[in-house]
Structure 1
Amino acid sequence: MDRLKTILLLFFFCCLSPGPTMQAQAITDPVQWSQELIRESDSVYVLVLEARIEPEWHLYSQYTPPGGALPTEFTFKNDGTGYKTLGPVQESETHTAFSTIFEVEETFFKGTARFSQKIQLTDLQLKGIQVDMFYQVCAEVCIGADRTFLFSFSDQPYVPEAAALDTESLAKGDALLLDLKNKELLSEDTGSGNTSRQGIWVIFGLGFIGGLLALLTPCVFPMIPLTVSFFTKQTQSRSKGVARAGFYGFCIVLIYFLLSLPFHFFDSVDSQILNTIATNIWLNLFFFAVFVAFAFSFFGYYELTLPSSWASKADHASDRIGGAIGIFFMALTLAIVSFSCTGPILGGLLGSTALSEGDVASNLTAGMLGFGVALALPFTLFALFPSWLQRL
């Protein structure tokens, strides 16, 4: 029964946490359009628009009832000037189905759709027509889109003339101009550099929180009193013990900082490319499997450890060398032997950081620094205030 509760709890948290795909994936238009101009006589033409709709998506008719998805709408620019429309826009065959979400009988297209509009030219010198279209497509989500189609009556592409503004409109536009002071301060506050710095501090904070969580794990928590007692009792003076403990904490931060340096070799990679890669379903399934493996490790079904020879060599080096270098190897030993508890936290931190926008290498460094600072902080604080160890 306990094992069943554990598994249910695991899947509860998996479902609760948002996936990277939901944050990074941009939804593209699932409808591809083509157009055709059919000439019936010197003055009568038919404007045709055809749509290819991706599976599982619905494009809605002009006549779908209100209260549901938005209907398709057409605007024939300058209708009545140089040409006139003959009747309403004709549609191809549609489907109807009751929507349990909106509770209305919706009319829509599946697979393909065709719209045609007959027009008559009143000015045979007319160069072309602009048709503006609004439509909505839905599957699990709904997407609204605006499209503009240009139909040319000559061999040259039709380019609409820019509308000329009258004197009154220009005067109103000039009245909206604001005489802002200290524009250089405004540009600094809203610049991309400031946004990037805010993002790095957020990631540093997430790493710091991860480091605080790692302190509570059974691989790290017992090391705090043991290590601090070693520095305070194995030295001739308290000040020297405090200095060594502080240097020990600095070495922990340095080690996690050094772990992020290899990622700077890939700083030329655009983060948007990584986000595009991250939307791949197989990559997201891989991340899911890794996080589930880490979760079961936390629940105690198995233990993730680095090779024991690594910890043995690092510990032997700290005993043999001594001094500042020996303290560094003590910090390295802590990082290695605590991997079974810190590994899942670091894995989640690195995975989330790699999928975030911005400079990936800088984000990783900020997250690792935050993690290292939180992990090293208690060793220094307890060395400064030994009485806190009894409360711990």
Structure 2
Amino acid sequence: MLDPVSFKTELKNISETEVEIRFTGTIDEGWHVYSVNLPSGGPISATFNVEKIEGAKLEGKLTPLTKEIAKFDKLFEMNVRYFENKVVLSQKIKITGANYSIKGYLEYGACNDENCLPPTSVPFNFKGKGSAKAVKEAALAGEATNDAAQQENASQLVDTLKVTAASDTIAVSDSVAVSNYWKPVIKELQSFGGGVDHKNLSWIYIFVTGFLGGLLALFTPCVWPIIPMTVSFFLKRSQNRKKGIRDAILYGASIIVIYLALGLAVTLLFGASALNALSTNAVFNILFFLMLVVFAASFFGAFEITLPSSWSTKVDSKAEKTSGLLSIFLMAFTLTLVSFSCTGPIIGFLLVEVSTTGSIVAPAVGMLGFAIALALPFTLFALFPSWLKSMPRSGGWMNKVKVVLGFLELAFALKFFSVADLAYGWRLLDRETFLALWIVIFALLGFYLLGKIRFPHDDEDGKVSVPSFFLAMISLAFAVYMVPGLWGAPLKAVSAFSPPMNTQDFNLYTKEIHAKFDDYDAGMKYAQEQGKPVMVDFTGFGCVNCRKMELAVWIDPKVSSIIENDYVLISLYVDDKRPLPAPITVTENGTERILRTIGDKWSYLQRTKFGSNAQPFYVLLNNEGKPLNRSYSYNEDIGKYVEFLKKGLANYKK
């Protein structure tokens, strides 16, 4: 069970005639709470709900007192506003009677990068005495006090139906109680084992991404020629070979320390949440788009970008004057400055990408992977100096690597422009336009690798190497793969980069999976009649990762075939705002809760039966409501999802 947000509620006196109900929430790292008055069709807004009010009336609306973070959400196609770390919300109340009371609840929605919580309630119940001034002002204004009519005008007035949930029978409506289907199966579910640790997987992904970036940087003209020169220097400057090897290893370790310090500095200066907000900011994305285009032009040979030579000269002279560990560290720092024109855009892209995870350690993990890849050859060649003789000499092939990086930077630049385009609603880079540009870029890259296009610094040799030929095949094949996307094909390989499908004007793709039932009890009854197992999908209208799973995983032929033919799919929306026929009061963990909406009902089912409260959440059941496999959350690995479904079928047949 996730509990990432905790609220404290208090009543504050503003004046003799006004009070304020203040909600102060503490939000765990990586989570955010959505703000008030968001457009319909989007995530769950924070709302102030009144059940009973006497001797008072609401003044104004629920107002945030902490600064909001605003970003454009690609999935909802709208600007959303939310809070991170802390949120303070205020509702003013005007006193109109000698005695006043107000009872109700704050409702809010919370999400992180993997899960969303169902609408969550924070109850309040305050009473007090009004001053003579408040009563007098209310009488002069003709406002009703302690009047039954005032309760009818409240935002929500409910006649609570008292129902207490037993451990083996749980009420699901005002008059119906269904056994077995609602019976808790938390222990049985846990017996199948836990799910995937997405946090660890994401750190591994970030590390690998950084490592690959470091390998790319190695094969650029700024770094590759320096490797044999530096290793030879360390081995020759000491007559003792062991000392030379030790110094070269320390040199590699210094490179790791420098880049790791850079990653930590980025986090400490900006913070994980600020980096995440910055990475989705429209102006920042335009600037980063322009920066990548400029670097791409530089890699193509239009001009050279270098840091002031005086910087590296000063550091180099310091290294010569000092000795020991400090001189080795300064030489590593010199490498960092000299190689900036090649490593800068790779590092910048890496930091922007990992900042979207919201993790405070992500930049450091990414930079650690980058630094290890960059430092590895210095250490290996120091340990095995004979390898230096077989090391490929620098030449035209390095310029080819640099130009290939230029093409890749140009492609990724469009991703950043897409974010700004969506935020401002320019519609300059709809999905088909984006794909058309990517098709052209990767086709041109293929032709370049085949020697059909030349840039200023390329060799005149017309021969095509075998690696270039295979890379050209991959690039051209990728360009051809994207062509069907112009007519609406999903293109899962590029779905994380391209604009959303609904920005496409011409779309022939209509295949989607829809649940047979949106009611748990009706779906379970149907499954029992048909003799089929059940897949329960706890989802939400405001659940971003639920849509990602549906678009990236469910549409896969293997997955869709199993779901449609072998299971009865029941989708339960925990943020469904439709009211129940009558509110239900249940006792959960010794605390009374009121279920007011259909979404409340399904959220309660998820918590009490399965011991979970995050979405997406998938669970496979037999006809009696018993689990057939472990639960499954957000993970776009299609193979694992197919395995999850097939294991459930196998256990059902047993």
TM-score, reference length from structure 1: 0.54
Instruction: Give per-residue Cα distances to partners, 1:252-272, cap 9 Å, x unaligned.
Output: 1111112223223346x563x
What does residue 364 of structure 1 align with? 363
> Are residue 166 (structure 1) and residue 183 (structure 2) matched?
no
SS of the residue 2:181 aligns to:
helix
Give the whole-Å Cα distance in 1 for the aligned partners of 2:324 and 2:278: 46
Number of the residue aligned with 2:287:
286
Q: CA deviation at 1:182?
A: 6.5
1:228/1:379 contact within 8 Å kept: yes
State the partner residue of 1:179.
Answer: 187
Contact residue 306 and residue 340 of structure 1 kept, 8 A: yes
- Per the alignment, residue 203 of structure 1 pairs with 206
Deviation at 1:332, TM superposition (A): 0.8
* Amino acid in the other structure paired with 1:344: P
How many angstroms does 1:279 deviate by? 3.7
The answer to whether the Cα contact below 8 Å between 2:279 and 2:352 also exists between their aligned partners in 1 is: no
Which residue of 249, 254, 258 corresponds with 1:251?
A: 254
For residues 154 and 292 of structure 1, what CA distance do their matches in structure 2 show?
61
Q: In the aligned structure 1, how far is the partner of 2:206 from the partner of 2:364?
A: 9
The equivalent residue for 2:350 is: 349
**In the alignment, which of 218, 240, 244 is matched to residue 241 of structure 1?**
244
Instruction: Tell me if structure 2 keeps the 8 A contact 1:248–1:327.
Output: yes
Partner Cα distance (2:219, 2:272) in 1:
36
Taking the aligned partners of 1:253 and 1:289, their CA distance within structure 2 comes to: 29
Q: Is residue 398 of structure 2 the alignment partner of residue 389 of structure 1?
A: no
- Which amino acid is the alignment partner of residue 199 of structure 1? S
User: How has the CA–CA distance of structure 1 residues 278 and 383 changed in structure 2, closer, same or farther, with 3 Å as cutoff?
Assistant: closer
- Equivalent in the alignment of 2:379: 380
Aligned partners of 1:277, 1:219: CA distance in 2, in Å?
A: 30
**Distance between the aligned counterparts of 2:236 and 2:376, measured in 1?**
19
Corresponding residue pairs, total:
235
Contact 1:295 1:344 in 2 (8 A): no
CA deviation map 1:13-51 (0-9, x unaligned) = xxxxxxxxxxxxxx96469xxxxxxxxxxxxxxxxxxxx
8 Å Cα contact 1:256/1:368 also seen in 2: yes
The answer to whether the Cα contact below 8 Å between 2:276 and 2:358 also exists between their aligned partners in 1 is no
Paired residues for 1:288-327 under 5 Å: 288-327=289-328
1:171 shift after superposition: 3.9
Letter in 1 for 2:179: L
Counterparts of 1:1-392 in structure 2 under 5 Å?
29=40, 154-156=152-154, 157-159=156-158, 163-164=173-174, 166-167=176-177, 169-174=178-183, 177-180=185-188, 186=194, 194-266=197-269, 269=271, 271=273, 274-354=275-355, 356-359=356-359, 361-392=360-391
Aligned to 1:94: none
Cα distance in 1, alignment partners of residues 175 and 185 from structure 2: 17
Whether the 8 Å contact between 1:196 and 1:358 is mirrored in structure 2 is no
The question of whether the paired residues in 1 share the 8 Å contact of 2:214 and 2:371 is answered with yes
CA deviations over 1:238-290 (Å, ceiling 9, x no partner)? 222111110110011111112223223346x563x654554443322211111
Equivalent-residue separation in structure 1 for 2:272 and 2:380 (angstroms) = 40
Structure 2's unaligned 5+ residue stretches are: 1-37, 43-150, 162-172, 392-654
* One-letter amino acid matched to 1:166: V
Contact 1:296 1:302 in 2 (8 A): yes
Q: CA deviation at 1:154?
A: 4.5
- For 1:278 and 1:232, the matched residues in 2 are separated by 44
Is the Cα–Cα contact under 8 Å of residues 219 and 337 in structure 1 kept in the other structure? yes
1:162-221 CA-partner distances (Å, limit 9, x unpaired): 623534x034322x62534877973xx66xxx4333222211111111110011000110
**Deviation at 1:233?**
2.3
Q: 1:159 to 1:184 in 2, by over 3 A?
A: same
Q: Secondary structure at the match of 1:306?
A: coil
Give the Cα separation in 1 of the matches to 2:208 and 2:39: 33
Q: Structure 1 counterpart of 2:174, which letter?
A: A
CA–CA distance in structure 1, aligned partners of residues 277 and 266 of structure 2? 18
The 2-side partners of 1:270 and 1:369 are apart by 17
Task: Give the match for residue 114 of structure 2.
Answer: none
CA distance in 1, matches of 2:233, 2:340: 22
The AA in structure 2 aligned to 1:342 is T
Against the structure 1 CA distance between its residues 326 and 185, is the aligned structure 2 distance closer, same or farther, given a 3 Å change threshold? farther
Separation in 2 of the partners of 1:250 and 1:353? Answer: 23
Unaligned runs of 5+ in 1: 1-26, 32-152
When residues 306 and 182 of structure 1 are mapped into structure 2, their CA distance, relative to the original with a 3 A threshold, is same
Residue by residue, what CA displacement relative to the aligned partner does 1:76-133 show, whole Å, maximum 9, x if unpaired? xxxxxxxxxxxxxxxxxxxxxxxxxxxxxxxxxxxxxxxxxxxxxxxxxxxxxxxxxx
Q: 1:325 to 1:292 in 2, by over 3 A?
A: same
